[in-house]
Structure 1
Amino acid sequence: MRGNGETVLLDVLTGAAEATPGQVIVHVGGDGDERTVTHHALLADALRVAGGLLDAGLAPGSHVVVPAERSEEFLPLFWGVVAAGLVPVPLAPDVRRVLPVWEFLGRPPVAVGESTVPLLDALPDSVRPLALDALREHPAPPRLPERAPGDVAFLQFSSGSTGTPKGVELTHAAVLANLTQIRTAAGITCEDVIATWMPYFHDMGLIGTHLVPLAARIKQVRLEPLTFAKRPARWLEAAERHRATLLSAANFALALVERRVPEDVLARLDLSRVRMILVGAEPISPAVWRSFARRMGPTGLAPDAPQPVYGLAEATLAVTFPPPGEVTEPLALDRAALGLGHAVDTVPGPDAVELMDVGRPVPGCVVRITDHAGEPVGDRRVGHIEVRGPQVARGYHRAPKATADAFADGWLRTGDLGFLRDGRLCVTGRSKDVVFVDGRTFHAADLEEVAAGTPGLGRGPVAVVGSTDPAGGGERVVVFLATPPAAAPLTVSSGLLRDVRNRVRAAVGHDDVRVLALPVRAFPRTTSGKLRRGVLRDRFERGEYPQIGERGGDGVARGGTGERRDRRGGWAGRRGGRREGWGRRRGGRREGWGRRRGGCHRGWAGGRGRRRPGRARRWCGAGRS
């Protein structure tokens, strides 16, 4: 499956530079300044970088770690690595992410730009840095190494929401296939313009908002994630200014826009040209979906523009899309029936579960639902989501057991649960996040929505886990909710905790529901912002939350997060501040995506010289908590 006759990934860039040399990628700075790079200029820059990499003597097919910070630095590095016949490994510019992957891959070179040079201070002295400015001084090579469609194009490390992050091996053929699938499903034409802020170390950012539009040869408008996090209105203003037709976001970003963009700003915006907002990367809250749609009314945004999509790194990116032009409304399903594995329509209410329909498989892709034995089940039956198609990865790097577990007989077992409804997919949750109560199955995301709907509860994160009592064998349902960021921990009232407990009790029909309020910083997340419920479950089972040690208990925790203090008094095992998505923090609260300049990260971001490896790891919390 090829869009423009490409056979390897580099063909996407060379084809764009030849067919649309003057088409642009616009890099929007935090101050609103714009820097424009043409397709032709990006290719020329990437070829100079490739010349430097080849002169460095790197063997074809070897790995190069590329931390993704500023887009105008990352893109020539990424494409230069590709052009040199090497395998780029995009990662979040966070030592806790880079260090274990670097070690796992056998300590490969690390390519850095000006914004990511400080990261080297936290890595061992044996690291081999490749600086963008130095690489650019080399001439383009007269001949590039040849790569085959079945070779690995790049390693895409999963965010690790349920375990150790794994490197997904994406072949050139798989990536090219998914680019074509996405362009077809979204109906992208040469008239489209995309405006995005999503980071390039995430699949939806790199593939969905750079590679896809590059393959379609359309204009890209790119804000840095921190710019969006600090002032989300800049994203919408850039979309209006550049007449964008395509946007992309995650659930938390919709909530951030709904909460942080004033109504008078929205009233001045004209987003009538936006025909599609692709929403994915994390579970979508129906409540947030409705709220966002209401708030965006004055902008002229079409009701059918927001579209929920489904995908995962092991399938390159996209698996399902709704048909363009369709107004998406949450499904209301009977909670009791869903707990028994049946999707039965009902009316919204306290006994209903609301979930998003994420559409049909992209062209050339097949989705099926199977039971625990791997046998397909019928329509509207909940089971394991499995995917087959040309975009499926070939496996996990140096992880044969994990590969065998997930990839078998041409099918990818996604680890997600869901059901098919007249050929359309609905995702109910992660298989590892299921809560079992008295023979019934409840999905964490549903119970979190129930808890979050408690009157008087703020908009902080909520997590629900199930845990079997080792003494009696009964199931314990544990609800974690956030204390208000500006409030002292003990200001959370016992009445509010009781109300949360009663709502969840009523939903599950089970008495042993425990509720604990935690500081926002105590909610563990992956680099892509997903809650790590398994970490909370493990902490509970280790007895780290004595406030809820008894049946039906509730309480407020001042800490109990498993983090360590660094020498500056910052938290070394967290990302700090108030987290509301994928973000980095410069000292205040966190509301975006990326790396942090305050707290433990000052151990490397503000350092002048190289530090010993052990000290860097201790200061910066490289180990997983």
Structure 2
Amino acid sequence: MTIIDFLSQRSFVQPQQKAYTFMADGKEEKESLSYQQLDRQARAIAALLQNYRSEGQRALLLYPQGLEVIAAFFGCLYAGVIAIPAPAPEASRLKRTLPRLRAIVKDAEASLILSTPEIIALLKGTYLAESDSFEWIATAKTDWNLADDWERPELTGDRVAYLQYTSGSTSTPKGVKISHENILQNSAYIKQAWSYDTDSIAATWLPYFHDYGLVDGLIQPIYSGIPSYLMSPITFLKRPLRWLELISRYGVTNTGGPNFAYDRCVSSFKPEQLAALDLSSWRVAHSGAETIRAQTLENFVATFGACGFQRQAFYPAYGLAEATLVVTTRKLEEAVKILSLDVDALKVNCAREATEASRGSWTVVSCGHPIGDFQTAIVNPETCCLCEEGEIGELWIAGSSISQGYWHRIQETKQVFAAYIRNSDRGPFYRTGDLGFFQDGEFFFTGRLKELIVIDGVNHYPQDLEITIEQSHPLIRVNSVAAFAIEVDGREGLAIAAEIQSQPKQPEAIIRAIQQAIAQNHEIEVVGIALLKKGGILKTSSGKIERRACAQEFLAGTLEAWMVWQNRQLLLK
């Protein structure tokens, strides 16, 4: 059985029930698809693809957010074609987005591009069209009567359904192979963990090409048989309150997003808007894809509690594409657990709760318990031995939701998907590259192994430094700071990139404030600071800050900066 069986069955049992409704500007119902309509469109697209003898081939999906991409995605699954959801190129950003798109096409050896006539016309005028031969398919022009010609392919659980490309550098994107079994297993676990039932109503603004938006936003509604309302990520970023208005209007029960989404709602609301919001239906407000901040949860409850939002609706979670989506999340019967850790202990990889005697503390939010059949271990990333209780290490995971590996990357797959704990027969595990610890069965994420900043043998977590920087000066924008290490005279030093509200009249004051805050709270000397224009911080499609990319552009001098302070000099851009 596969997810296409779920859609096929729902089209037979609930043919006229709306599956998805797309909201233009997050406000007006622009278009909708019933189960029957979606099934018919998917079968027609599949029949069209079968005319190209495309089973097992890779198809790039390039669409604006909407319903067309959903039909195309399921059309690929119905045809046994491996779908590759990817961000649609924009004419104004082609120079930045095309190299990554080209790298994905090359890595996956894609032979099909499914898109809109407008996007196809845009791409045919670029080197992407000149250097590769594709079948360009504008799915909106499909004759839906082709649905009757569809022939069901032989699909087994281990067949790859789609490739989820990770947000790495443009030259080395990695395609995570997600099988039909992976989809069903993780969907079942999510349904139970986040209490999807016949009364649930879902909503999402998350992009379809991100695992969070695809698995929970598009696949879960079909798996659970519930209606879902979609809006564009661009609409959310411009008008965050439209998300909450949608929840209020339709009685949405299950929806969520990264930590920054909740911050944006708090920072953009106006007091007079609260009276019109009713968030009492919102039972599951999941949060993942980036570090979850305790202050964000507190601020959101304080702001929207008057609208009926309940604190117990928060479901912090941890997940990643290599595990399909969710690995851990809060249990229904438990409250969100928040710990205050001793900062000196953290520097030596020890998770010890802060006391009155502690010189400083760092707050971490629990990501909950492992769901489904996930097995977990905290392992020393260098020795591959199990960590002691209370010791911070790398999270290793195993389970039926774990991907088979990376597309055409045999050696890397072997290194990270087939790890065994030293001096034991436990394995194989997937090495997440994420650091954290367990307490009372709950996972606490502390940071990315590759982003850990080690100065003079002492560990510093970038998220901790970034919070300090945000609070150091009122002109520094929230969720728009990156802390990273650069090499200076053969040693690692701390560098910072921070967006500010507007061109600073006194940049020296901001730089001094950052230096003093870091020195007082973390006892580190800052060796470089870039004060960036709004939007200058590099982020992934899901809103996560790309610290390594920021470091590369800092060193190259290509950040969109008002000014840069380095080598004790202020350089105007």
TM-score, normalization by structure 1: 0.82
Give the aligned CA root-mean-square deviation in angstroms. Answer: 2.3
Gaps of 5+ in 1: 1-6, 559-625
**Aligned AA (1:41):** Q
Where do residues 447-486 of structure 1 align in structure 2 (5 Å cutoff)?
Answer: 447-460=465-478, 461-469=480-488, 471=489, 473-484=490-501
Of 72, 83, 90, the residue aligned with 2:67 is 72
Question: 1:11 maps to which residue?
Answer: 5
Matched, 1:407 2:444: no
Contact 1:233–1:261, Cα closer than 8 Å, also in 2:
yes
Matched, 1:215 2:247: no
Question: Which deviates further from its counterpart, 397-406 or 504-513?
Answer: 504-513
Cα 1:218/1:137, change in 2 over 3 Å: closer
Cα 1:163/1:352, change in 2 over 3 Å: farther
Deviations 1:406-465 (A, max 9, x none): 111421101111111111101111111101122221111111111111142332511111
Cα 1:402/1:557, change in 2 over 3 Å: farther
Question: 2:79 maps to which residue?
Answer: 84
Question: Which deviates further from its counterpart, 361-370 or 90-99?
Answer: 90-99
| CA–CA distance in structure 2, aligned partners of residues 225 and 543 of structure 1 | 30
**Aligned AA (1:103):** K
| CA–CA distance in structure 2, aligned partners of residues 193 and 359 of structure 1 | 23
Contact 1:213–1:219, Cα closer than 8 Å, also in 2:
yes
Matched, 1:430 2:448: yes
| TM superposition shift of 1:114 | 4.7
Q: State the SS of the aligned residue for 1:252.
A: helix
**Aligned AA (2:202):** I
Of 21, 33, 39, the residue aligned with 2:35 is 39
Question: Which deviates further from its counterpart, 238-247 or 157-166?
Answer: 157-166
Question: 2:547 maps to which residue?
Answer: 533
**Aligned AA (2:472):** T
**Aligned AA (2:532):** L
Cα 1:325/1:162, change in 2 over 3 Å: farther
Where do residues 290-439 of structure 1 align in structure 2 (5 Å cutoff)?
Answer: 290-328=298-336, 330-346=338-354, 351-371=360-380, 372-408=382-418, 409-439=427-457
| CA–CA distance in structure 2, aligned partners of residues 173 and 316 of structure 1 | 10
Cα 1:510/1:227, change in 2 over 3 Å: closer
Contact 1:277–1:307, Cα closer than 8 Å, also in 2:
yes
Higher strand proportion (structure 1 or 2):
2
Question: 2:520 maps to which residue?
Answer: 506
Of 98, 101, 108, the residue aligned with 2:101 is 98
Q: State the SS of the aligned residue for 1:42.
A: helix
Contact 2:531–2:564, Cα closer than 8 Å, also in 1:
no
Deviations 1:351-376 (A, max 9, x none): 11112210000121112110021111
Contact 1:497–1:555, Cα closer than 8 Å, also in 2:
no
Cα 1:210/1:347, change in 2 over 3 Å: farther
Cα 1:270/1:326, change in 2 over 3 Å: farther
Question: Which deviates further from its counterpart, 511-520 or 193-202?
Answer: 511-520
TM-score, normalization by structure 2: 0.90
Question: 1:130 maps to which residue?
Answer: 137
Question: 1:522 maps to which residue?
Answer: 536
Question: Which deviates further from its counterpart, 493-502 or 153-162?
Answer: 153-162
Contact 2:258–2:543, Cα closer than 8 Å, also in 1:
no
Of 115, 123, 127, the residue aligned with 1:112 is 115
Question: 2:237 maps to which residue?
Answer: 229
Contact 1:161–1:532, Cα closer than 8 Å, also in 2:
no
| Greater RCO, 1 or 2 (C-alpha within 8 Å, sep 6+) | 1
Contact 1:518–1:556, Cα closer than 8 Å, also in 2:
no
**Aligned AA (1:363):** G
Question: 1:63 maps to which residue?
Answer: 58
| CA–CA distance in structure 1, aligned partners of residues 203 and 359 of structure 2 | 38
| TM superposition shift of 1:325 | 5.0
| TM superposition shift of 1:163 | 8.0
**Aligned AA (2:365):** M
| CA–CA distance in structure 2, aligned partners of residues 162 and 421 of structure 1 | 37
**Aligned AA (1:529):** G
Identical-pair percentage: 27
| CA–CA distance in structure 2, aligned partners of residues 356 and 163 of structure 1 | 34
| TM superposition shift of 1:402 | 1.9
Q: State the SS of the aligned residue for 1:535.
A: helix
Cα 1:479/1:39, change in 2 over 3 Å: same
Contact 2:515–2:525, Cα closer than 8 Å, also in 1:
no
Cα 1:533/1:556, change in 2 over 3 Å: farther
**Aligned AA (2:209):** F
Q: State the SS of the aligned residue for 2:476.
A: coil
Deviations 1:336-356 (A, max 9, x none): 101111111126997111122
Where do residues 546-557 of structure 1 align in structure 2 (5 Å cutoff)?
Answer: 547-550=564-567, 553=568, 555=570
| TM superposition shift of 1:104 | 2.4
Cα 1:47/1:412, change in 2 over 3 Å: same
Where do residues 154-193 of structure 1 align in structure 2 (5 Å cutoff)?
Answer: 154-160=162-168, 164-193=172-201
Where do residues 234-253 of structure 1 align in structure 2 (5 Å cutoff)?
Answer: 234-253=242-261
Matched, 1:21 2:15: yes
| CA–CA distance in structure 2, aligned partners of residues 163 and 431 of structure 1 | 21
Contact 2:108–2:175, Cα closer than 8 Å, also in 1:
no
Question: Which deviates further from its counterpart, 517-526 or 394-403?
Answer: 517-526
